[in-house]
A = this chain, B = another copy of it.
Amino acid sequence: MKQIVFLLVAAATVAGIIALTARASGQADETSSPTFEIKLFPGYRDWPVISVAHEAGANNDLRAVLGNDLAMKAYRKETLPFPDGTVIARLAWVYTSSEANDKVFDRPQSFVAGPAINVQFMVKDSKKYAGTAGWGFAQFKDGKPDPTAKLDTCFPCHQPAKAHDYVFTHYAP
């Protein structure tokens, strides 16, 4: 009986620690993306284009990568590492065949942006995000933090781009 009580108390303690950790890592604010405490940037949809891409495979998206003013300046001056305050936004839409456009050509060849998938951000703050080389990561869906985002996987996955300060996207001339 004593053992069972001990186990129950231990389990409750562990659960409490997990809950506290979750709260400390940003869950408390429902408008912030958890873990890195990043809020949706006002006006990001009007930022200039860094580049565009098509991710096939499981992603199956068309994407635009946009930058705030500091990001654009750093890209154009080829400044590395990116300075604190840099924000890079990745907007993704479902890769969608366009029947309407294809009528112009003699075969299916036109693929356009369908429904929005999500918006991801990389935010440079060398102090706040010192543990991830200065980068914070966030994912929003329909204007709200996406609770399904596995943000702890972002930085490990960006390792191959270390030579470009962990950013995959290069500037499209």
Name A residues whose Cβ lies closer than 8 Å to a Cβ of B.
45-49, 51-57, 59, 62-64, 66, 72, 91, 93, 95, 98, 100-101, 103-105, 107, 109-113, 115-116, 157, 160-161, 168-170, 172-173
Contact = CB atoms under 8 A, between A and B. Distances in A.
A-B CB proximity, top 7 nearest: A57-B109, A113-B172, A46-B48, A56-B109, A54-B111, A53-B112, A52-B52
A105 B62 CA distance: 17
A172 B98 CA distance: 13
Contacts of A112: 51-54, 169-170
A170 B101 CA distance: 11
Contact of A52 (B93, B109, B160, B173): B93
19 contacts: A46-B48, A49-B66, A49-B91, A51-B113, A52-B63, A53-B62, A54-B110, A54-B111, A55-B110, A57-B105, A57-B107, A64-B172, A100-B160, A100-B161, A104-B157, A112-B169, A112-B170, A115-B173, A116-B172
